[in-house]
Amino acid sequence: MHALLSVVAAIALAQAPAPKPATPDEAKAFVKKLDADLRKLWVRQSTAEWVKSTYITDDTERNAAAMNEDVMAYVTQATKDAQRFKGLKLDPETERMLYLLRMSTALPAPSDAAKRTELANTAAKLEGLYGKGKSCKPGKPGKDGKATEECRDLQQLSKVMTRISDKKQPASYDELLEAWSSWHATSKEMRPLYERLVSLSNEGAKEFGAPDLGELWRSAYDMPPAEFEKETDRLWSQVKPLYDDLHCYVRGKLSKKFGADKVGATGPIPAHLLGNMWAQEWANVYPLVEPYAGQSSLDVTKKLEAQKYDPQKLVRLGESFFTSLGMDPLPSTFWERSQFVKPPGRDVVCHASAWDVTFANDLRIKMCIKIDEEDLITVHHELGHDYYFQNYYTKPVLFQQGANDGFHEAIGDALTLSITPEYLKSLKLIDALPRDEKGLINVQMKDALEKIAFLPFGRMIDQWRWDVFSGKVKPGEYNKHWWELRLKYQGIAPAGGARSEDFFDPGAKYHIPANVPYMRYFLARILQFQFHRAMCQAAGHTGPLHTCSIYGNKAAGAKLKAMLAMGASKPWPDALEALTGQRQMDATAILDYFAPLQAWLKEQNKGQQCGW
């Protein structure tokens, strides 16, 4: 009987009409509905994420995880449904939206509902662990005789790191080591969660047609993944000689400061001696490596404090740069809804970020602003995101992103290159202009410690994740591979000697537990100089690139706005060409900008054994 039924069913199936082939009109209707659905889901998701980031509790984590799960479920199903349009001749906008749909999530989820829930919860838990991370030790007994606990969060521990060059209260070698070690110990418990996130997200990536999540991420750049990886290697090879010169000079100065037993004349630099928790930017060691002492003061932080800047005033200063280029002021809701300071009595994610929560010019920044030069720069960077949002928010929601993710990170940073000594003096944030080559070298050294020092760090983080996602690196080698790459690219070694697999040092950097792709930051450091050179040309600047400021130049602003307004509606080479006239990313603008410093460094490093 069962066999007979099977035969009947087979005959019926064979006689059933074949499903109609998909049509371009159906694809167009699909993306129209997709835009409406995603807008609704993404607004709910970003609202939940905003609340979770500014008020970390178990409830807000659970709420955000539930919303992320809904988005994952929709995107996974929509991506599968879109496969039926593959191979059709579609209009450019429809084809672009279908491509961006597949690239729309950094964390693709499996179809299995239980696994999708687990992935959402795991991701929320990882970011929550980072935001709540504290290093605690027994304190002095209280009045009741019971020992209290003294805890320090990332902000407090980072403050110790910045004191490496403090003239009044410099942090000792051991204090720096203790602060670095304390923060890096907070990420230990992330390891099993991260291992599970890798497994589940790889499963999701396979359903999106990629062999692993790293391959999916590399597919988001309008070129084959393998070609993109070669492109990042090409860009790194352009700037590596300048980084090597800087590393060599800084290492020599640190060796003199701490002794050859702590920092050798050759080899890597210990990670805790560069003024930053991750040794990603080195601006805080500037007083220790200043080329020419006694030149004009470059202490912008001191001037900000003297002029009684508060967080909102610092943000107003950033806004004024964008409006000077012809852009609109930030909406009133920005000032009402942003988080400028850490609220008392609750856990928040202080890592700076920019938001358009409703994808409708609902602009915000989330920071715990310090009144210093570092956050002056960070404010400009975050407002760069917000002004990108402002210029494309009327487009379909899938087009509301950068031409590639490096573009988004580069905008604000490109404008900070116009924060020249002349501009700072006009704001009375420095006393006098550097008047000779010595002053210029000081300024360029300070800039290079932030911008050039970052480049290999930006390049290696996603290399670590690509190797983890592909299975090239097993869970038992997470920490080992992390430090191998940091040595290879940065010439940095772990503080206090080799680190065992008891630690999960990648998790001490926000973007790893938060699963934020990082190659965007490396590309941004390249693109910002390329953008700057193009805007300076539009402004009619003819002198050396490092002397150019586009502040107040409407022609440069118009060129920038034209690119921002495109969002992701066209492949990134089209957007790049709109601003720069070039279709390939190019690091030569960095070399143009820092040409005086590189020549000086080569002279200083004569006789030294550079490299590691």
Per the document, the length of the chain is: 612
Closest CA to 330 of 288, 388, 277, 281: 388
Closest CA to 389 of 367, 412, 422: 412
382 catalytic, yes or no?
A: yes
List 355's β-bridge partners, or say none.
364
Q: At a CB cut-off of 8 Å and minimum separation 6, what does 516 contact?
A: 106, 510
List 365's β-bridge partners, or say none.
354
Q: Read off φ and ψ for residue 491, nearest 5 degrees.
A: 70, 35
Element (H, E) at 238: helix 225-258
Q: What is the token pair recorded at 121? A: 């919860």
Annotated catalytic residue, options 381, 408, 541, 546: 381
501 catalytic, yes or no?
A: no
Annotated catalytic residue, options 69, 118, 409, 450: 409
541 catalytic, yes or no?
A: no
CA distances from 24 to 18, 30, 88, 94, 102 (A): 19, 10, 7, 9, 18
Q: Is 152 helix (H, G, I), strand (E, B) or coil?
A: strand
CA quadruple 403, 408, 412, 413: dihedral sign = negative
Annotated catalytic residue, options 380, 385, 532, 546: 385
Annotated catalytic residue, options 124, 220, 352, 538: 352
Distance between CA atoms of residues 95 and 134, nearest Å: 47
381 catalytic, yes or no?
A: yes
End-to-end CA distance of the chain: 77
Q: At a CB cut-off of 8 Å and minimum separation 6, what does 333 contact?
A: 362, 363, 364
486, 545 contact by CB (below 8 A): no
511 catalytic, yes or no?
A: yes
Annotated catalytic residue, options 106, 195, 511, 565: 511
Annotated catalytic residue, options 382, 414, 450, 518: 382
Distance between CA atoms of residues 485 and 483, nearest Å: 5
Annotated catalytic residue, options 66, 106, 207, 351: 351
200, 324 contact by CB (below 8 A): no
409 catalytic, yes or no?
A: yes
Residues taking part in catalysis: 351-352, 381-382, 385, 409, 511, 521
